[in-house]
Amino acid sequence: MLLIPAIDLRKGKTVRLLKGDYKQETDYGHNPLELAKEFERKGAKRVHVVDLDGAKGDGSNRSTILKLAKEISIKVDTGGGIRTMRDVEELLEGGIAQVVLGTAAIENPKLVAEALQKYPNQITVGVDALDGIVKVRGWLEGSGKDSLTLIKEMIDLGVKEVIYTDIARDGTLLGPNYKAYAKISTLPINVIASGGVSSLEDLKRLKELPLYGVIVGKALYESTFTLEEALEVLE
């Protein structure tokens, strides 16, 4: 199972939000470029970069993200504020390995289909759910759509990878929603778990499921375990 460290950007800073709440933000003081290089040095094969300003619609960290992708050799996936085909093209042509479409998957599935036609292996869908219902626009608005229904619709479109985030667990260090991942991992799509990982034991339990990968953020920043320890558990 692939371990993917997370870098969340807010106004150029590396931060973590609690359950996606922009009012509960912790600034860890890391330079995002140096942090990505550190993850690469320690053995990560991919890094997950979220543009929180882009997701909310009140700014952008895209120039930083594109620079980051050019300065490291491992894969970079990114999401947040990707709403048009031009956005998709700018990121993928700029060196990003995977773009993560979240709000667009709900509001504009035609964009997902168009992006898949041009970049069939580089489109990931981000499903961010609270109590199983998908939220959009930086998790600030409800969509009314069941997460499993959305994933099945994306599979029908040809999406090969999904990042599923349980909002109630994200940034809490309370452990993942194993029940949700067990259900989703039975679907014919690569599933990346996100939200709540707090210990190496959590990683061991997730490894027992047929998941493609797991995103880890706060646990690394809070030094609950090291990246090297996590890689050893999963590999």
Delineate the domains of the chain, giving CATH numbers in brackets: 2-234 (3.20.20.70)
Give 58's pLDDT tier (boundaries 50, 70, 90): confident
Per-residue pLDDT, 139: 56
Helix (H) or strand (E) holding 228: helix 227-234
Residue 214 φ/ψ, nearest 5 degrees: -140, 135
What is the distance in angstroms between the CA of the first residue and the CA of the last residue of the chain? 7
CB 93 within 8 A of CB 118: no
pLDDT at residue 2 tops 70? yes
Q: In degrees to the nearest 10, what's the CA dihedral of 13, 92, 158, 170?
A: -10
What confidence tens digit (pLDDT) does each residue in 72-105 have?
A: 999 999 999 999 999 999 999 999 999 999 989 9
Per-residue pLDDT, 143: 66
Query: pTM here?
Result: 0.94
CB 190 within 8 A of CB 162: yes
pLDDT, the chain, mean: 94
| Pairing between β-strand 46-51 and β-strand 2-10 as defined by DSSP bridges | parallel
CB 124 within 8 A of CB 161: yes
Q: What's the whole-number mean pLDDT along residues 115-124?
A: 98
What confidence tens digit (pLDDT) does each residue in 128-185 have?
A: 999 889 988 765 666 678 999 999 999 999 999 999 999 889 888 899 999 999 999 9
Catalytic residues: 8, 128
pLDDT at residue 116 tops 80? yes
% of the chain surpassing 70 pLDDT: 97
CB 115 within 8 A of CB 101: yes
| Pairing between β-strand 123-130 and β-strand 46-51 as defined by DSSP bridges | unpaired
